[in-house]
Amino acid sequence: MKQTWRWFGPDDSVLLSHVRQAGATGVVTALHHLNDGRAWPEDEIAKRKAEIEAAGLVWSVVESVIVHEDVKTRSGRHRELIDNYKTSIRNLARAGIKTICYNFMAITDWTRTDLDYRMWHGGTALRFDIVDFCAYDVLVLKRAGAEAEHPPEHIEAAKVRLAAMSVSDLARLEANLIGWVPAREFIFDRESFRRALDVYREIAVEDFRQNLFAFLREIVPVAQEEGVRMAIHPDDPPFPIFGLPRVVKDADDAAALLAAVPSPSNGLTLCTGSYGANPRNDLPAMARRFASDIHFAHLRNVTKEADGSFHEAEHLEGDTDMVAVVDALLAEERRRKAEGRADWEIPMRPDHGHAIVDDIGKQVNPGYSCIGRLKGLAELRGIMRTLETLRA
């Protein structure tokens, strides 16, 4: 697999030189300073590509060309914004960048309650605590209808948890849930978040799914014409939060999406962490079932708890059999290569990582510290090399 690395651009504390030292050859990035729904100009794409190539690397995957909220709700400027999206696809293709990862999560991007969860080894990880989330959703945000969506035992536990929180604890929880996500084009406070949620109160899950399919029916033909492969990222976490619709949370959702707009340009990002937080998902089985439609892979692991909480485990630990997933992806690469495809390699990146060693206490994008991802990539590379050697 093509070993790649998420990079947040010139302001990222992890440098392109660090990416090379980690052993990756490809970069996964976006024009974050233009990620507000406008079309990406060719000159800006060329500038970012040249910067990456000057470091001896290749811009392998775009993550992400943002899907604006108006597109998700089919409201406001959605027609203009879809046209902008098509232009961005065409301009990226002209620059030779042919894989685009994107998501269709309403309002939120990936969501965690704790960005510094202390692990047994002394480093920190990302965690979603269902009781903390319930405390915020029901007792702090006081979202209309929230109480009916949480089991009584979670609400009772949340009352105890909230009573024990300091002012700074609560401020940190709120910032984690609604105020901060890397590469997002907007930041909420409590009132603006409530207003954003109100927009979705009248949008049912199936209506939202049809909005996604309508978007795909517009952009996939452009992507196919340009030789671009669109790779949708699953919802994270892969279950409803804040009463918002979730339509890319499991194997059934993935199958429905692929069937709605059949095309080699309509495919998946296999994120083993996001899909892996849903107990219904068997990741090795999904890797085998959807192999031909997997255009990109995020490889990370999670440990799930009985109440729905989870934390991000080390890459080879947790609940997902990472060896079996990698084996399935390597088998798909062999199949593509035998077909004579020039693009037979599946780009992968070590998704998220623990803050360990010298990265502890540094200002980094949570989940995207250097050393934890370097460790994860090295472990994944070891799996790949071992499986390739055993097959030789």
* Catalytic one of 298, 311, 315, 354: 298
pLDDT on residue 180: 64
* Catalytic one of 271, 315, 327, 370: 271
pLDDT band, very low/low/confident/very high, at 183 (cuts 50, 70, 90): very low
User: Among residues 327, 346, 319, which one has the least CA distance to residue 98?
Assistant: 346
Interval 6-29: pLDDT, tens: 999 999 999 999 999 999 999 999
Judge contact between 233 and 142, C-beta under 8 A.
Answer: no
Residues 213-246, buried b or exposed e (16+ Cβ, 10 A)?
bebbebbbebbbebebbbbbbbbbbbbebbbbbb
351 is catalytic: yes
- The answer, yes or no, to whether residue 188 has pLDDT greater than 90, is no
pLDDT band, very low/low/confident/very high, at 182 (cuts 50, 70, 90): low
117 is catalytic: no
CATH annotation of 2-110+201-391: 3.20.20.150
* Catalytic one of 154, 352, 354, 370: 352
pLDDT on residue 181: 60
233 is catalytic: yes
* Catalytic one of 351, 354, 359, 370: 351
- The answer, yes or no, to whether residue 341 has pLDDT greater than 60, is yes
pLDDT band, very low/low/confident/very high, at 187 (cuts 50, 70, 90): confident
pLDDT on residue 186: 66
pTM for the predicted model, two decimal places:
0.95
Interval 276-311: pLDDT, tens: 999 999 999 999 999 999 999 999 999 999 999 999
352 is catalytic: yes
295 is catalytic: no
Element (H, E) at 312: strand 310-313
* Catalytic one of 293, 354, 368, 370: 368
**Ordered DSSP codes for 236-299:** SSSS--TT----SSSHHHHHHHHHHS-STTEEEEEEHHHHHTSTT--HHHHHHHTGGGEEEEEE
pLDDT band, very low/low/confident/very high, at 179 (cuts 50, 70, 90): confident
Sheet architecture: strand order including 301-304: 114-118, 124-128, 310-313, 301-304
* Catalytic one of 233, 295, 311, 354: 233
Average pLDDT of span 351-361 = 94
Mean pLDDT of the chain, nearest integer = 96
Question: Domain residue spans in the chain?
Answer: 2-110+201-391, 114-197
